[in-house]
Amino acid sequence: MKRHVVFSVMAMSVGLLIPSVSNAGDVVVGQPAPAFAFTDTMGHAHTLAEFNGRFVVLEWMNPACPFVGKHYRSGNMPRLQTEMTKQQVVWLSIISSAPGKQGYSAPEQAHAFMREHGGSPTAIVLDEFGAIGRLYGARTTPHMFVIGPDGMLLYNGAIDDHPSTDPNDIPRATNYVRKALEEAMAGKPVSTPSVQPYGCSVKYE
């Protein structure tokens, strides 16, 4: 795995749910992606803006969530991470679980989860106060966002069109993240820019 990071910006009952909401998030596709900053485990500060010129994927995750588990145990999420980072896509896996809540992870726990499942994000972001999650309106794990090289939000929503915990559904599913990236990389408009996310609720404070 590549460099892991810990988020360090001042922030503002276990269960599964598929939310009933009218839109996929609080950010708007076609508008600039909200800016944020984080510090890696080596103490180096970064900003989202420094990735301008590259595609960026934001993946909200919770290692204890069965929906996340489906995509990691099957190898689906790790394969997509590897495929896209090889094409110079920046992939940030974000854990917004608060201390004491399902999925909360210390850095070594998050790294161990990725090693166990073959994950290869560019970085892991520990958003324990929920600052980035609330900024983006992240509702579920997984909840996926794709940002273009110009900093505009290209996609917001579910990873695919099969909202289940059954890995047997994956071969039949349309992976919206892969589709959005492939279309955008080919210079085409993203045909499905926003889809309601599914999964476990993000375990904010």
Residue 12 has pLDDT above 60, yes or no: no
The tens digit of pLDDT for each residue in 45-67 reads 789 999 999 999 999 999 999 99
CATH number at residue 36: 3.40.30.10
Give residue 107's domain range.
27-201
- Residue 144 falls inside a structural domain: yes
> Looking at residues 66-72, what average pLDDT do you find?
98
What mean pLDDT is reported for the chain? Answer: 87
- Residue 21 falls inside a structural domain: no
- Residue 47 falls inside a structural domain: yes
- Residue 188 falls inside a structural domain: yes
- Residue 112 falls inside a structural domain: yes
- Residue 100 falls inside a structural domain: yes
- Residue 3 falls inside a structural domain: no
Number of structural domains found in the chain: 1
CB neighbour burial string for 140-179, b if at least 16 within 10 angstroms, e if fewer: bbbbbbbbbeebebbbbbbbbebbeeebeebeeeebbbbb
Which pLDDT value is given to residue 14? 29
- Token pair 């726990």 in the structure block, residue: 109
**pTM higher than 0.85 for the full model?**
yes
CA 66 to chain centre: 15
- Residue 9 falls inside a structural domain: no
DSSP label at residue 51:
G
Instruction: Give residue 38's pLDDT band: very low, low, confident or very high (50, 70, 90).
Output: confident
CA dihedral (48, 195, 97, 89) positive or negative: negative
Helix (H) or strand (E) holding 126: strand 123-126
Which pLDDT value is given to residue 45? 75
The tens digit of pLDDT for each residue in 96-121 reads 999 999 999 999 999 999 999 999 99
Residues 154 and 5: their CA atoms lie apart, in Å, by 24
DSSP, collapsed to helix, strand or coil, labels residue 132 as helix
